[in-house]
Amino acid sequence: MCLWSSCWSLDIIIYTYQEKDPLFWNTWAQRTLKNALTLQKLNQNTAKNLILFLGDGMGIPTVTAARILKGQLSRQSGEETQLEMDKFPFVALSKTYNTNAQVADSAGTATAYLCGVKANEGTVGVSAAAVRSQCNTTQGNEVTSILRWAKEAGKSVGIVTTTRVNHATPSAAYAHCVDRDWYSDGEMPAEAVQAGCKDIARQLFENIPNIDVIMGGGRKYMFPQNQSDVEYPGEKKHFGTRIDRRNLVEEWNNRMKNKKAHYVWNKKELLSLNPNSVDYILGLFEPGDLPYDLERNNETDPSLTEMVEVAIKILKKNPRGFYLLVEGGRIDHGHHEGKAKQALHEAVEMDRAIGHAGLMTNINDTMTVVTADHSHMFNFGGYTPRGNTIFGLAPMLSDVDQKPFTAILYGNGPGFKVVNGLRENISTLDYEENNYQAQSAVPLRMETHGGEDVAVFAKGPMAHLLHGVHEQNYIPHVMAYAACIGQNRDHCMSSSGASSLSAALPSLTALLTLIRLLC
């Protein structure tokens, strides 16, 4: 447990001494006010580039706790720290419910913030008229994504995720599937395959031709059933899953052989590429999801920040710009497992990637949005003192069972444990260990999502349109409007036409004057 007396650095002592002076707070507030006043001049440029950072399961309590963790990793108190997303000038709230669920899942929400249409839980890239797991409700109910709109407008497009590339979030960018779990045909019921429904991995390569950047996990879903994995050849759980015996990676390589395209499966291969000579990349770094950042092998597994850097270097070569979807997908997994430390470190790594992307792009022509698909039953409290380690104990014992408790708790999940009929005494446990499962009020094998609104942070062209409280499906409509793609083009044509006319007027006036002189 890290209390003030034991974990102060000199910087924190100086900082808290300043805080005793009202001038400190007044000066800070006035500086913030001056910055806010500069926002009165809105950025109404056309967005050349669009980036969506999606923290899966990154509810507002997770954002706050990640902020504190980020500061404490730099030996600060933490509460006053700024995440990169905190620096974005515009913030909104997003209502996350699915059409048939008060508390949403990641598939229906992905359809909302990527395709602009709310949908049923468990379905991706289809409207609410489609019913989960019923293959015959797919056809005619497909909805397209902003990634497709960008591609059709001539932009380069990319997907980067720490989960499988055919997981719920990324799959809504390209697939139309009534079941998020149909990763390959090996996970589909035979009748669905016979009825003509396609698995999600297959749709990744067939639905939108030549997605420029694809990086994440999910290797086993691309290879024939029982084919051993290149990285884990002796582990059957990582063998290929495809019953149709297709090798989707080999097919991609063959189709792209006359293009500047590369398939990579480890960090060394990824970072050895010269992005200037790469137009297309398929990076599949694990058979399933990528490892948690705390458990990542720095020699073989790329970080989210490293993948984002390569992605932007490749995509930004297109003079028409790009659309990039980046998912910090394992925030969600950490919470489901009750492992808050894993979840929060995933959030901090995504924030690092957000900052790096900001350095590589220009706020004048790049709209960046950071949001979550849903929240979790995660929270922290207990009247902890300033600077208390985010993974530490509350400063008092329970006044009911006289036992200590951590600041972080879950409303439900696997952390519920009873010893001799009583709540487990955590004083005997290492509650700051990476995989410690925080205590929960209700026992579940897997913790559940939360139903409250999530934050939307925005900067760049037209970012001011993300304000107040909105339905989640509003997000891609704003981004499309900013970039003049999809159905939002009329304002761009009229404004460009007006600007072209005004630019031509001086030349036209000069020509008329010359004609008069000649006559």
Known binding residue 81? Answer is: no
| Token pair listed for 168 | 């719920």
Calculate ∠ Cα 153-158-162, nearest 5°.
Answer: 155
477 among annotated binding-site residues: no
Element (H, E) at 442: strand 440-443
Is 244 annotated among the ligand-binding residues?
no
Q: Can you state the angle between helices 22-37 and 10-19, rounded to 10 degrees?
A: 90
Report the distance separating Cα 393 and Cα 408, nearest Å. 8
449 is in an annotated binding site: yes
CA neighbor of 413 nearest in space, from 457, 379, 365, 374: 379
- Does 185 count as an annotated binding residue? no
Q: Any alpha helices (H) in 74-167, and if so which ranges?
A: 106-115, 146-152
Among residues 5, 6, 74, 106, the one annotated as catalytic is: 106
Q: State yes or no: 293 annotated in a binding site.
A: no
Token pair 């720490």 in the structure block, residue? 162
Q: Is 467 annotated as a binding residue?
A: no
327 marked ligand binding residue: yes
Q: Which amino acid is at 102?
A: Q
Nearest to 376 by CA among 331, 407, 311: 331
Classify 404 as helix, strand or coil.
Answer: coil
What's the burial of 489, exposed, middle or buried (CB within 10 Å: 0-12/13-18/19+)?
Answer: middle
List the alpha helices (DSSP H) in 256-372. 267-272, 304-315, 330-336, 340-360
Q: Are strands 366-372 and 454-459 parallel, antiparallel or unpaired?
A: antiparallel
For residue 37, CA distances in Å to 31, 32, 34, 42, 269 come to: 10, 9, 5, 11, 47
Q: Is 279 known to sit in a ligand binding site?
A: no
3-state SS class at 430: coil
Active-site residue, 440 included: no
**Residues assigned a catalytic role:** 106
Report the binding-site residues for Zn(2+).
56, 332, 336, 373-374, 449
Report the binding-site residues for Mg(2+).
56, 167, 169, 327
Report the binding-site residues.
56, 167, 169, 327, 332, 336, 373-374, 449
